[in-house]
Structure 1
Amino acid sequence: MSNNVWPPPPPKNESESEKAARLAAEKEAKKISDEIDRALEHERQELRKHRPQTKILLLGQAESGKSTMIKNFQLYFCPSSFQAETEAWRAVIHLNLARFVNYLLYVLSNTNVASGGKKGDPNKDYRMFQMRLSPLKQVELILTRCLSAESSPMASPTDDGPALRRETIPEVSVRGGMGWKAFIRGRRRGSQSRMMANPEEVNDARRILDACKEDIVALWKSPAIHALEKEGVDLHHHARYFVEHASRVADLKYSPTPDDILRARLRTVGVEEHRMVMETAAEKGEEWVLYDVGGQRSQRASWASYFEDVNAMIFLCPMSGFNQRLAEDRSVNRLYDSMELWDTVCRSRLLSKATFILLLNKADLLRAKLRAGIRFSDYVKNYDQDQPNTVEAVSAYLRKEMMEIHRVYSPRKRQLHVHITCAIDPTLMAAVLNSMRDVILVEMLHQTTLL
């Protein structure tokens, strides 16, 4: 019999006095063992309490992909909490779809396309779409009120007119920390609950979308939409994906997939703090805190207050912005603005000890633009016209430029980790997230002198 069995079997021919002594000894041993177990568990709990949180700061201009990167972190490292938020994201997706369709109808009403060249005299098909899809304005109004503060000027629906411009598809914004996901789930109580639409209204919005789905599909396939693109109206918007899948997304039984959620958009204004309890093996149970700070110019002055004591800084540069202008200042090229912002971040002494990770993001949109014949060299004068107009060549150029800025202006020598990314590609992002996780964990070990 194994010597590792506890308690050991009683010896043969054991007397009553010997048995009593043995049982007393076993009881004392068990007591000591339990005390040791409690002490070890207490020590583990204390270590967990005092273990430094992993703090990660996400920086970049507005619409650079920070919020999508947060969703990738959650999907990959905290899948159960990601799944629990599916219902909240369904409302966002439906709002993205309704807003985009309303935008298409607005643009059609202000071009010659719908009238076949006679502005102000819409043809029969256009009038039909305008009439049959008019309930989507109510859908947009309900979901906008549901997701953002009623007093917010950013929450105005598309039928406000002046908010719409042909080159701009309007977005709904939420303020960081307002807990819009809790509003959707109906779990937030208190005075702020008046900002949430009635749950039955949200269900009404779903029923309206379901009733309109066939007309949405027909509108998207109509010659008028193709004519808009020929006229130069840029329809390469994130919500295009939802219109292309309208028969599924607008269905009453629709439940968002992870891919759908990654493509959903809701702009954050201010700072959004995301606390994630990691579920993966390497760091299971640890809490990582990610700060998503607003990227608009008016909000950048407040960034510095979040620079101290962060373990890693992830900067997102949207490569596809090379032919776009800032919404805040139409005279400023988005790519140039992003590079100037990177210069400022690299110079910061408050971030001198942080791990620097640079994500050259939106490779998919960059590829689509270059394949459509838009030349990178026409907008970036330092890029030689003889160089290839390909994603590989352009991303290599940007990588070199950004690395040089980091090398020259960093207050101390440090390694820079660079990745070419498409934040809506889960397969690609899995490899990038694993690499970033490893880099951050190694740096944490260095900081705690364990490596």
Structure 2
Amino acid sequence: MDDWPPPVRETAAQRALRLDEEREAKRVNDEIDLALEAERLERQKRKVDVKILLLGQAESGKSTILRNFQLQFTPQAFRAEAAAWRAVIHLNLVRSVTFILNLLSDAPSSPTTRTRAYAPSRPSHATSLSHSTGHGHPDFPVEINAGDYAHAPAPLVHMTDELRRLCMRLSPLRTVEAGLAQFLSADSESHPRAEPAHRVTERAFEVSVCPGSKWKALFGPAPHPTALADTRTSQRAHPPHYEELEDARRVIEACREDMVALWQDETVQESLKNHSMALEFQSGFFLDEVDRIAVPGYEPSPSDILKARIQTMGVEEHILKMETVADNGQTWGIYDVGGSRGQRAAWIPYFDDLNLLLFLAPMSAFNQVLAEDHSVNRLWDSFYIWNTICSSRLLNNVTFVLLLNKLDLLDAKLKAGIQFRRFVTSYKDKPNETDSVVGYIKSKFSAIYKQHSPPGRLLRVHVTCATDSKATSIVLERSEHCFLLAPH
């Protein structure tokens, strides 16, 4: 646009230069306006009607609850991600196998050598949580053994020639595991760290992905058969890295019978027991379902996706557009905040404008310690976090929902003979039965809540198994109702 009036005695060259500069200035200004408008629209799009925060220690089940939210309220979007979760489930399966291979790799060929591994030592003393431990820990109405994990010799296990041949046939799964792990974490700053083959740890290594859905975007829906028949369109029909994923799938299918044989092998079960390792109690365990998963055309069921395990680093923000009739059009923002000690400092900024706080406490972790600190019992850590958030004034007007999670694993551990009172000494001589233990844990969380909460704040307590989609859907419906009844 020409300036008016134009400069006096402006030459033609000067005028051309001025007009070029004005056009460039207008272009830059228009770009800024477009960027500001795009930012405004993005903010508007991200504005949510309901803000929900998921809190709890690492492996408490937060991500599984989030998937339950997606299954319950955005089922179409949930089903669209099945291809991505198939790769995660295959990785979960393979890493359980390679974990066993690593455990057996140092097994003696003759009964003369001992292997060593991480195994829980019997706690030699109790730490009373009714007194300060010197680290600023609050008062708790519970006493928990301060057991730790130490190197301990495992009893001898003789590895037969047949088992050695079986392990050799399964060795290609190591390459599959490495490839899937690298593929899933391709956008992550921190890549998965596998333990060396000669070192035995208490669990299979974790694969970490960055927050967001980048890793899911690497996968596309399976190509339609008619598209595959047309060689001109087959390349476009395949999702990215389709051939690499197909190669991994074919190896897994070829190893199906050997994986079944490995898990059913008496020597393997004896070795796991001797090392105090129960893979079936860990997240992402699929070794007991190999015949269903390691087959052509396998499509993950909702239950499979809920069971799958992948570690997310940082804060996961999920904006869910409600698809159900009752909530159609509403937008929910659900924030899954990392639960490890190093990530808890990031929680406070998410307390602002919060409607509903879901805290997950894994009851089955009573005999486990934090991965980042083997001196801290995980159940005690859940009490500690609960005490902290109940005491926060920033949450005085927020509705609380406490999910006492992993009921199925707690029940399995107690039925396997693991004594709750060995780790929670204040439980004393009460029955080692699920109902009694659940009631005890619930009463302690309730006592902490009553001690540190302002009058009138709402609390709902549910006992859950997050991988049970039907039971959890009822809890989520009640939580939604709880929010609707809460004062705003």
**TM-score range relative to shorter protein:** 0.7 to 0.9
Change (3 A) 1:62 1:154: farther
Give the distance between the partners of 2:260 and 2:284, measured in 1 at CA.
12
Give the distance between the partners of 1:304 and 1:223, measured in 2 at CA.
49
Give the distance between the partners of 2:189 and 2:159, measured in 1 at CA.
34
CA drift of 1:307 comes to 0.8
Map of 2:359 onto structure 1: 315
Asked if 1:167 is matched to 2:210, the reply is no
Map of 2:99 onto structure 1: 103
Give the distance between the partners of 1:259 and 1:151, measured in 2 at CA.
27
Give the distance between the partners of 1:255 and 1:222, measured in 2 at CA.
28
For residues 16-71 of structure 1, give each alpha carbon's deviation from its aligned partner in whole angstroms, at most 9, with x where no partner exists.
Answer: xxxxxxxxxxxxxxxxxxxxxxxxxxxxxxxx989852010000000000000011
Asked if 1:73 is matched to 2:69, the reply is yes
Map of 1:364 onto structure 2: 408
CA contact (8 A) 2:322 2:331 kept: yes
Change (3 A) 1:123 1:116: farther
Asked if 1:146 is matched to 2:190, the reply is no
Asked if 1:124 is matched to 2:120, the reply is no
Give the distance between the partners of 1:241 and 1:296, measured in 2 at CA.
21
For residues 198-250 of structure 1, give each alpha carbon's deviation from its aligned partner in whole angstroms, at most 9, with x where no partner exists.
Answer: 33211111111111111111111111222124313322244674111112211
Give the distance between the partners of 2:352 and 2:435, measured in 1 at CA.
35
Q: Within 5 Å, which residues of 2 pair with 1:129-208? A: 129-149=166-186, 152-157=189-194, 160-161=196-197, 165-177=200-212, 179-185=214-220, 198-208=241-251
For residues 261-291 of structure 1, give each alpha carbon's deviation from its aligned partner in whole angstroms, at most 9, with x where no partner exists.
Answer: 1100001110001111112222112111100
Change (3 A) 1:166 1:319: same
CA drift of 1:354 comes to 1.0
Q: Report the residue type matching 1:267 in the other structure.
A: Q
Give the distance between the partners of 1:91 and 1:49, measured in 2 at CA.
31
Give the distance between the partners of 1:110 and 1:412, measured in 2 at CA.
59
Q: In angstroms, what is the RMSD of aligned CA positions?
A: 2.3
CA contact (8 A) 2:84 2:216 kept: yes
Give the distance between the partners of 2:181 and 2:78, measured in 1 at CA.
22
CA drift of 1:441 comes to 2.2
Give the distance between the partners of 2:312 and 2:103, measured in 1 at CA.
26
Give the distance between the partners of 1:412 and 1:170, measured in 2 at CA.
44
Q: Within 5 Å, which residues of 2 pair with 1:241-320? A: 241-320=285-364
What stretches of structure 1 move > 6 A for 4+ residues in a row?
48-51
Give the distance between the partners of 1:276 and 1:149, measured in 2 at CA.
25
Identity over aligned pairs, percent: 46
* Stretches of structure 1 lacking an aligned partner (at least 5 in a row): 1-47, 187-195
Judging by fraction of residues, say which structure has more helix.
1
* Stretches of structure 2 lacking an aligned partner (at least 5 in a row): 1-43, 116-157, 222-238
Map of 2:385 onto structure 1: 341
Give the distance between the partners of 1:348 and 1:430, measured in 2 at CA.
29
1:224 to 262, 267, 271: 267
Determine helix, strand or coil for the equivalent of 2:298. coil
CA contact (8 A) 1:175 1:269 kept: yes
Give the distance between the partners of 1:119 and 1:400, measured in 2 at CA.
45
Map of 1:16 onto structure 2: none
Map of 2:12 onto structure 1: none
For residues 380-422 of structure 1, give each alpha carbon's deviation from its aligned partner in whole angstroms, at most 9, with x where no partner exists.
Answer: 122122x111111111111111111111112443121000000
2:254 to 208, 211, 224: 211
> Structure 1 stretch 281-290 or stretch 54-63: which is displaced more?
281-290
CA drift of 1:125 comes to 1.5
Change (3 A) 1:126 1:117: farther
Determine helix, strand or coil for the equivalent of 2:66. helix
Give the distance between the partners of 1:151 and 1:285, measured in 2 at CA.
33
Give the distance between the partners of 2:240 and 2:415, measured in 1 at CA.
43
Q: Report the residue type matching 1:59 in the other structure.
A: L
CA drift of 1:111 comes to 3.9
CA drift of 1:80 comes to 0.8
Map of 2:4 onto structure 1: none
CA contact (8 A) 1:60 1:341 kept: yes
2:460 to 409, 417, 434: 417
CA contact (8 A) 2:94 2:177 kept: yes
Change (3 A) 1:146 1:240: closer
Map of 2:446 onto structure 1: 403
Give the distance between the partners of 1:115 and 1:259, measured in 2 at CA.
43
Change (3 A) 1:174 1:89: same
CA drift of 1:150 comes to 6.9
Change (3 A) 1:412 1:115: farther
Give the distance between the partners of 1:236 and 1:127, measured in 2 at CA.
23
Map of 2:49 onto structure 1: 53
For residues 355-392 of structure 1, give each alpha carbon's deviation from its aligned partner in whole angstroms, at most 9, with x where no partner exists.
Answer: 1000000011111111111111111122122x111111
Q: Report the residue type matching 1:177 in the other structure.
A: G
Change (3 A) 1:270 1:240: closer
Change (3 A) 1:115 1:244: farther
CA drift of 1:181 comes to 0.6
CA drift of 1:335 comes to 0.3
Q: Within 5 Å, which residues of 2 pair with 1:420-435? A: 420-435=463-478
Give the distance between the partners of 2:372 and 2:478, measured in 1 at CA.
34
Determine helix, strand or coil for the equivalent of 1:331. strand
Q: Report the residue type matching 1:139 in the other structure.
A: V
Give the distance between the partners of 1:239 and 1:217, measured in 2 at CA.
19
Determine helix, strand or coil for the equivalent of 2:426. coil
Change (3 A) 1:382 1:154: farther
